[in-house]
């Protein structure tokens, strides 16, 4: 499982012209699910996202977590994070989880964040989404649970 965390001052996601999720200060989290990922992976990455100290304290040092800062999370599914781009010019997606499993673990990830006390908004799994954000910092981190495998 791979996530991209972007510290934002605001973010939103729109599907078919309708805003389906929106946050102010917090994290925009893109989630990619790979074949073989588990609930343990989603739980681990959700806890890391909630507890990573990447928000500024009163001295403008990155000492506060999402929970400490009182921020929210906008969680968006993004299977393209799992792309294998090493051969040729067209990325391959054979390592991405099947849609049913990807959706299940994406939803599980979101629920894990909620259970930790984070206010969570989401996109729509499998939909074409327009995502807007104001990246704060910019601060962007990639978290993953599986090592990149050898080319297929």
122 is catalytic: no
- Residue 146 — pLDDT band, cuts 50, 70, 90? confident
78 is a catalytic site residue: yes
pLDDT digits (tens, 9 = 90+) for 113-141: 999 999 999 999 999 999 999 999 999 99
C-alpha 115/C-alpha 110 separation (Å) is 9
pLDDT score of 8 more than 70: yes
Annotated catalytic residue 79 = yes
Active site residue: 3, 14, 78, 122, which one? Answer: 78
Q: For residue 93, how many other CB atoms are within 10 A of its CB? A: 11
From CA 65, how far away is CA 112, in angstroms rounded?
Answer: 16
- Candidates 35, 80, 93, 140; catalytic one: 80
Q: Topology of domain 2-88+98-143, per CATH?
A: 3.50.80
| pLDDT, tens digit, 9 for 90 and up, residues 49-71 | 999 999 999 999 999 999 999 99
């Amino acid at each position: 499982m791979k996530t991209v965390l972007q510290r934002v001052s605001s973010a939103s996601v729109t599907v078919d012209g309708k805003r389906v999720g929106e946050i102010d200060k917090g994290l925009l989290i893109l989630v990619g699910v790979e074949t073989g990922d588990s609930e343990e992976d989603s739980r681990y990455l959700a806890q890391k996202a909630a507890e990573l100290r990447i928000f500024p304290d009163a001295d403008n040092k990155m000492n506060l977590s999402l929970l400490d800062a009182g921020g929210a999370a906008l969680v968006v599914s993004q299977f393209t994070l799992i792309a294998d781009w090493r051969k040729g010019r067209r990325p391959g997606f054979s390592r991405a989880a099947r849609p049913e499993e990807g959706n299940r673990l994406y939803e599980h990830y979101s629920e894990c964040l909620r259970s930790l006390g984070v206010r969570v908004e989401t996109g729509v799994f499998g939909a074409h989404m327009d995502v807007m954000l104001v990246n704060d910092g910019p601060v962007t981190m990639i978290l993953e649970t599986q090592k990149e495998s050898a080319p297929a």
